[in-house]
Structures are given as C-alpha cells and as structure tokens.
C-alpha cells in the first residue's frame, strides 16, 4: 500500500522534467538568435542583422529610431554600420526569458557597444543599453518580432527633508 502512495509523488517529481528540458532547448535557441545578431553586428553585415527579425518586425534602437519590416530594419542598420557604428564591436547577454505560451517569449537582454568615437575623434566610453524583445517561434524557428532598446536614466536626486 505504501508503494502505491509513493507512486503519485514520484510521478509528480518526474513529470516536469521533459517540460524543463524543452524549455532549456527553446531558451538556447532564443539566446542563439541574439548571438547571431551580435555576430552579424561584429561583421558589420546589416542584411544578416535584419535577418533575425520577422518580415513584419519592429525595432526601436537606443537612440529612438524606429523601423518596421526587414527592409526598413536593414536600412537603419546600413546607415548605422556605414556611419557612427562602423568601427564598433557589440557584445550582449540574455538576462531572462519568459515564455508566453509555446510560441512566444519575452526576452530581456543587455548590450554593450565599444569602439564608438566622440565628436572630437577620441574614444567614447562603452555604450551600455537594455533590450526588451519578443521572440516568436514560426515554422519551428525562433525569430524576433519586436525590440525596444533603452538606456537606464540615473535616478532622480533625493529630496531634501
């Protein structure tokens, strides 16, 4: 009788394992999408950079520029990569992935652009920013649907009491 009571407990412990393994594989695929973007940036390849977005995707870069659809996204990246970002390097980390059902995920990532030049031509400090983005699984492949990048503002000064 004790063995029969133990069976439901064991099943409850084992049953979630495939879900966790699936989520881990999906998370790895989503992280790879961001890594592919970083690699494309470092090759200064706007076409490959835009290729991580859905055909009707959206991007808002950290400077507030918006592009919709891969053609506009590629144009935005072309302007950046032949202009102020031409000699830069991009690194990024994915902080969290929250699955919204089987085919969508809300992703939080951090990015750092190095190699920027100040207006006087001197080296600018690394440009740190945060990305909140939505990934969608279409036809078995993860793709970026929308990305909003922003820079954290310093907190307001404490009020005098």
Spell out the per-residue pLDDT of the chain, length 161, in tens. Answer: 444 343 333 334 334 434 445 668 999 999 999 999 999 999 999 999 999 999 999 999 999 999 999 999 999 999 999 999 999 999 999 999 999 999 999 999 999 999 999 889 899 999 999 999 999 999 999 999 999 999 998 899 887 76
CA 98 to chain CA centroid, nearest Å: 12
Phi-psi map region of 44: left, alpha, beta (phi>0 left; psi -120 to 50 alpha): left
Q: At what angle do helices 2-14 and 16-42 cross, to 10 degrees?
A: 10
pLDDT, residue 158, reads 86
Q: What is the maximal distance between C-alpha atoms in the chain? A: 81
Domains in the chain, ordered, with CATH? 2-150 (3.10.450.50)
141-158 burial, b at 16+ Cβ within 10 Å, e below that, comes to: ebbbbbbbbeeeeeeeee
**Cβ 76 vs Cβ 61: under 8 Å:** yes
Query: What is the rounded CA–CA span in Å between residue 123 and residue 115?
Result: 7
Query: What is the rounded CA–CA span in Å between residue 27 and residue 125?
Result: 31
pLDDT, residue 21, reads 52
pLDDT, residue 22, reads 60
First to last CA, the chain: 68
Closest by Cα among 152, 149, 130, 154 to 62: 149
């Amino acid at each position: 009788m004790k063995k029969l009571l133990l069976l439901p407990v064991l099943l409850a412990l084992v049953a979630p394992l495939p879900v966790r393994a699936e989520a881990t594989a999906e998370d790895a695929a989503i992280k790879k999408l961001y890594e592919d973007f970083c690699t494309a940036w470092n090759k200064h390849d706007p076409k490959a950079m835009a290729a991580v977005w859905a055909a009707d995707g959206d991007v808002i870069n950290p400077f507030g520029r918006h592009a919709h659809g891969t053609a506009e996204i590629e144009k935005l990246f072309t302007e950046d990569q032949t202009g102020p970002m031409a000699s830069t390097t991009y690194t990024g980390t994915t902080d969290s992935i929250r699955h919204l059902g089987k085919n969508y995920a809300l992703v939080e990532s951090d990015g750092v652009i190095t190699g920027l030049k100040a207006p006087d031509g001197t080296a600018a400090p690394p440009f740190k920013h945060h990305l909140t983005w939505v990934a969608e699984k279409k036809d078995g492949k993860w793709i970026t649907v929308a990305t909003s990048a922003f820079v954290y503002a310093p907190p307001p000064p404490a009020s005098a009491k």
